[in-house]
Amino acid sequence: MPFIANTDADQAAMLAAVGVERIEDLFHDVPEAYRFPELNLPEALSELEVLRELASLANENEKLDELTSFLGAGAYRHFIPSVVDFLSGRSEFYTAYTPYQPEVSQGTLQAVFEYQSMIAALTGMDASNASHYDGATATAEAVIMALNTVKGKRHRVILSPTLHPQYREVVRTYAQGMGLEIVGDGGLGQETGPSKGLGQETGPSNLDGNDFHALLELCDAKTACVVVQNPDFLGTIHSPQEMQALADGVHAHGALLAVAVDPISLGLFTPPGHCGADIVMGEGQSLGIPLNFGGPYLGFFTMREKDVRKSAGRIAGETVDLDGRTGYVLTLSTREQHIKRSRATSNICSNQALMALRAAIYLATMGKQGLRSVAEQCYHKAQYAATKIGMLPGYEIVNRGPFFKEFVVRCPLPVADVKAHLLLEWGIIPGYDLTQDYPELGQCLLVCVTEMNTAEEIDALAEALAEAAELAVDAEAFVLEMELR
């Protein structure tokens, strides 16, 4: 409705109702010297001038359409068909909120239902909820769901060291006050130590991130779930046989297996649902959602049919009305706002419905062959990039097994120096600095290649890395010569 300002008569009536004569009397508790301070504000600007100023500030930022990027680590640059923006920007979707009333929310409910159907098929699972805030919160909700699902009192949660570091942080945050023992996430071959005050000291894990046998050795009768990632945070792909063996071992202890996954990889590889996973979740940003500094992103979450009632969030379902016509409703909503608080499985207050819509449009537009094509391009271009970089003097590809679109490069000089040189001299973002999350790896860079990267860009990356190493050698030789003199 249009805004209508209060008239003088309206203001007088409201002041009389509260027993004061002037608006100033409403602030009598504030010392008079501070009631109306002089504000040192610049001169007012017109709309045109404000837009110019904002554009100038925005141009101070580096933009991916002006740079060559090989940065991934959970947020990826993929091609987004124009139809995704067009349809998701329609007002009936863009302004819609929660579909509480099915009689006026059929479009939104059907969109959510279609999203759920495609995500469940993609992951090889029975059912999907209507989404979470992002991959990290979806992972934390997977842990909570496992605790609510397994039989007996279990308080041990095993996190793979190569699960996304930020996912592990969010799990630990969610777990505060729950008395959980979080093990296995202390680093690659490092002692896990106390879980930041959230659990008990776990001792050494002796994990290299790829050894599922070591994860299984941590399983016992107190374990609620094991959480892994495939492809893992370092890009390595675990085979269906490895995943099935892990699932069988976890189930033998009565625990659940939760797998975080890159949805684009499922266009090419066997989905976790076909390898014994009980929960499959992850970040859906790569499904038609552009890169944003902090989101909004999309956490997808799928599960087995037998565990649906223990899942968090909402599930839209298909039914028929009194006349036999197809209709859509909220089939399940386990929020504490909707059911008894004691029976609620999560207090999640909303979902990323607009982002889920974008993912549904993207998947429908790409289809099976389109998604496979994207995955194949990512895979083959990443192999090409790794081959080029692996041939450079001083650089080493660290991954022990096959990888999808990300791989680890050990550099002959500090990663910060590599990144600074490539950005300033070449306009290239070479990847993600792993030294902050895995210092035990040494000077390592996580390089990501998607279908958006051309062969020419990959060649330029290799050339720039070679130049950075040569400059480092020359600088070291210069310093040594000065010391000898």
Q: In the prediction, which pLDDT does 345 show?
A: 72
DSSP 50-117: HHHHHHHHHTTS--TTTSEE---TT-------HHHHHHHTSHHHHT------GGG-HHHHHHHHHHHH
Q: In the prediction, which pLDDT does 202 show?
A: 40
- Residue 350 burial (CB < 10 Å; 0-12/13-18/19+)? middle
pLDDT band at 316 (very low <50, low <70, confident <90, very high): very high
The DSSP letter of residue 411 is -
- Looking at per-residue pLDDT, the higher value among 451 and 41 belongs to 451
DSSP 3-50: --PPPHHHHHHHHHHHT-SSGGGGGTTS-GGGTSPPP-PPPP--HHHH
The residue among 345, 364, 383 that closes a domain is 364
Q: In the prediction, which pLDDT does 51 show?
A: 96
DSSP 340-372: -GGG-SB------HHHHHHHHHHHHHHHHHHHH
Three state DSSP letters for 447-478:
EECCCCCCHHHHHHHHHHHHHHHHHHHHHHHH
Q: In the prediction, which pLDDT does 186 show?
A: 60
Question: Does residue 468 fall inside a structural domain?
Answer: yes
Q: In the prediction, which pLDDT does 161 show?
A: 94
CB atoms within 10 A of CB 6: 10
Distance of CA 315 to the CA centre of its chain: 21
Q: In the prediction, which pLDDT does 204 show?
A: 33
The residue among 335, 364, 393 that closes a domain is 364
Q: In the prediction, which pLDDT does 350 show?
A: 61
**Domain shared by 285 and 312, yes or no:** yes
The residue among 364, 399, 426 that closes a domain is 364
**Domain shared by 121 and 238, yes or no:** yes
Q: Which of 131-135, 170-174, 248-252, 480-484 has the highest mean pLDDT?
A: 248-252
Q: What is the pLDDT of residues 49-68, one digit of tens each?
A: 999 999 999 999 888 889 99
Q: What is the rounded CA–CA span in Å between residue 180 and residue 462?
A: 45
Percent of the chain topping pLDDT 70:
88
**Domain shared by 286 and 432, yes or no:** no
| Phi, psi angle pair for 447, to nearest 5° | -100, 135
Instruction: Report how many helices (DSSP H) and strands (DSSP E) the chain contains, helices first.
Output: 12, 15
Q: Crossing angle, helix 455-484 and helix 353-390, to 10 degrees?
A: 60
Q: Taking CA 454 as the corner, what is the angle to CA 448 and CA 460, rounded to the nearest 5 degrees?
A: 80
Question: Does residue 302 fall inside a structural domain?
Answer: yes
Stretch 120-136: mean pLDDT, rounded?
95
Q: In the prediction, which pLDDT does 293 show?
A: 81
Structural domain count of the chain:
2
**Domain shared by 294 and 383, yes or no:** no
Lowest mean pLDDT among 15-29, 196-210, 284-298: 196-210
Exposure string over 270-301, b if 16+ CB within 10 A, otherwise e: bbbbebbbbbbbbbbbbbbbeeeeeeebbbbb
| Phi, psi angle pair for 383, to nearest 5° | -65, -40
pLDDT at residue 176 is higher than 50: yes
Stretch 91-119: mean pLDDT, rounded?
85
pLDDT at residue 188 is higher than 80: no
Q: What is the pLDDT of residues 392-442, one digit of tens each?
A: 999 999 998 899 999 999 999 999 999 999 999 999 999 999 998 999 999
**Domain shared by 178 and 108, yes or no:** yes
Q: In the prediction, which pLDDT does 36 show?
A: 83
Stretch 123-150: mean pLDDT, rounded?
95
Question: Does residue 29 fall inside a structural domain?
Answer: no
**Domain shared by 335 and 216, yes or no:** yes
Contact 317, 106 (CB under 8 A): no
**Domain shared by 329 and 388, yes or no:** no
pLDDT at residue 481 is higher than 70: no
Question: In this structure, what CATH number is given to the domain that contains residue 452?
Answer: 3.90.1150.10
pLDDT band at 337 (very low <50, low <70, confident <90, very high): low
Q: What is the rounded CA–CA span in Å between residue 351 and residue 297?
A: 10
Question: Does residue 437 fall inside a structural domain?
Answer: yes
**Domain shared by 358 and 380, yes or no:** no
This prediction has a pTM of 0.85
Question: In this structure, what CATH number is given to the domain that contains residue 320?
Answer: 3.40.640.10
Instruction: Residue 471: give the domain boundaries.
Output: 368-484
Question: Does residue 156 fall inside a structural domain?
Answer: yes
Percent of the chain topping pLDDT 90:
69
Q: What is the pLDDT of residues 219-228, one digit of tens each?
A: 999 999 999 9
Q: Is 417 helix (H, G, I), strand (E, B) or coil?
A: helix
Q: In the prediction, which pLDDT does 484 show?
A: 54
**Domain shared by 172 and 313, yes or no:** yes
**Domain shared by 141 and 283, yes or no:** yes
Lowest mean pLDDT among 23-27, 96-100, 167-171, 296-300: 96-100
Contact 180, 339 (CB under 8 A): no
Q: In the prediction, which pLDDT does 15 show?
A: 94
Stretch 277-299: mean pLDDT, rounded?
94
pLDDT band at 3 (very low <50, low <70, confident <90, very high): low
Q: In the prediction, which pLDDT does 351 show?
A: 62
Question: Does residue 140 fall inside a structural domain?
Answer: yes
Stretch 251-278: mean pLDDT, rounded?
98
**Domain shared by 228 and 375, yes or no:** no
**Domain shared by 315 and 191, yes or no:** yes
Q: Give all strands (DSSP E) within 160-215, no chain letters.
A: 181-183
Contact 446, 73 (CB under 8 A): yes
- Looking at per-residue pLDDT, the higher value among 20 and 336 belongs to 20
Question: Does residue 127 fall inside a structural domain?
Answer: yes
Question: Does residue 398 fall inside a structural domain?
Answer: yes
Q: In the prediction, which pLDDT does 196 show?
A: 37
